[in-house]
Amino acid sequence: MITDLPQLLDALPAGTLPPGRLVTPEDGGPPPYWLSDGPVEPALWARLRARHPETGLWPLALSGMRSEESRPWAEGEVAPGRMSSPDRHDPADLLARWWGEDEQNADFAEVVAPLGVRWPGPADPGQPAGTPGEFADEYVDFLADGRTRLGLVPAARGADALAVTGWSGPVNFTNDTAEIAAVVRSWEERFGARVVGLGFDTLHLSVAAPPTSPEHALRVAAEHFAFCPDNVRQGSGTLAAYAEQIRGMNCWAFWWD
């Protein structure tokens, strides 16, 4: 699909995009994404998201490191050739494995209480509070900080864009972003999640069907903890406290140290 990017861009009506360029990965290969030269208005992201079914291009709100804004996106500090396909990974198996890896820590039982140390399995789907597109457009407006650039990725869905770009933000957790994409696919289906923004090592999702009860939030929190332990270990400190943070929230943010 990456090789189709220039063709997909050419198919856009004239004047759709601001000045920008195709970005070549640092390890070579065809460009996996188009990047605007400067910041863009959130409204453009929203229009492109709405047109994704016809264009095949998923928009991303891209931000760089605060100390080096050109990294990773402008410099092409990505490795799409290293990523597998999300199709190869079962999200439930991934979450169970990651949960088990953290179980080796001495304070594991304390952190995950009151849920217990045994992996509880995937959480039930949430009840939509609106359309996924509606919440995605609201979240991109919140993320816009006057420096956020627009990225366009040839991907069938937002989750797949994580692997297609070759983003390596979670490299200290997994060096195959397709694993991250596989879990996000599941969240797209169960919680109306949509990939909105990516930073150097951060992921921002809008959520149309978040957990609203304490019990459901705790189960979803367990998935988040398995997916990104830093959210809990370097944030709220316990699964119970984190569950309270995400209950009813229409956006989820993750970062990997």
| Burial class of 7 by CB neighbour count within 10 A (0 to 12, 13 to 18, 19+) | exposed
DSSP result, 24-75 = --TT-SS--EEEEEEE--HHHHHHHHHTHHHH-EEEEEE---SS-TTTTTTT
Band of residue 3 on the pLDDT scale cut at 50, 70, 90: low
> What is the model's pLDDT at position 45?
98
Q: Helices 91-102 & 214-227, crossing angle to 10 degrees?
A: 80
Using alpha carbons, select from 99, 109, 93, 114 the residue that is nearest to residue 225. Answer: 99
* Cβ–Cβ under 8 Å, residues 185 and 96: no
The most distant pair of C-alpha atoms in the chain lies apart, rounded to whole Å, by 59
Q: Is the sign of the CA dihedral 29, 182, 176, 166 positive or negative?
A: positive
| Tens digits of residue pLDDT in 207-235 | 999 999 999 999 999 999 999 999 999 99
In angstroms, what CA-CA distances link 196 with 1, 59, 85, 149? 20, 8, 20, 12
Residues 113 and 154: their CA atoms lie apart, in Å, by: 41
Mean pLDDT over each residue of the chain, to the nearest integer:
96
The identity of residue 85, as a single letter, is S
| Tens digits of residue pLDDT in 54-102 | 999 999 999 999 889 999 999 999 999 999 999 999 999 999 999 999 9
Is a pLDDT exceeding 60 seen at residue 2? no
Is a pLDDT exceeding 90 seen at residue 149? yes
Query: Helix or strand or coil: residue 139?
Result: helix
Residues 1 and 17: their CA atoms lie apart, in Å, by: 20
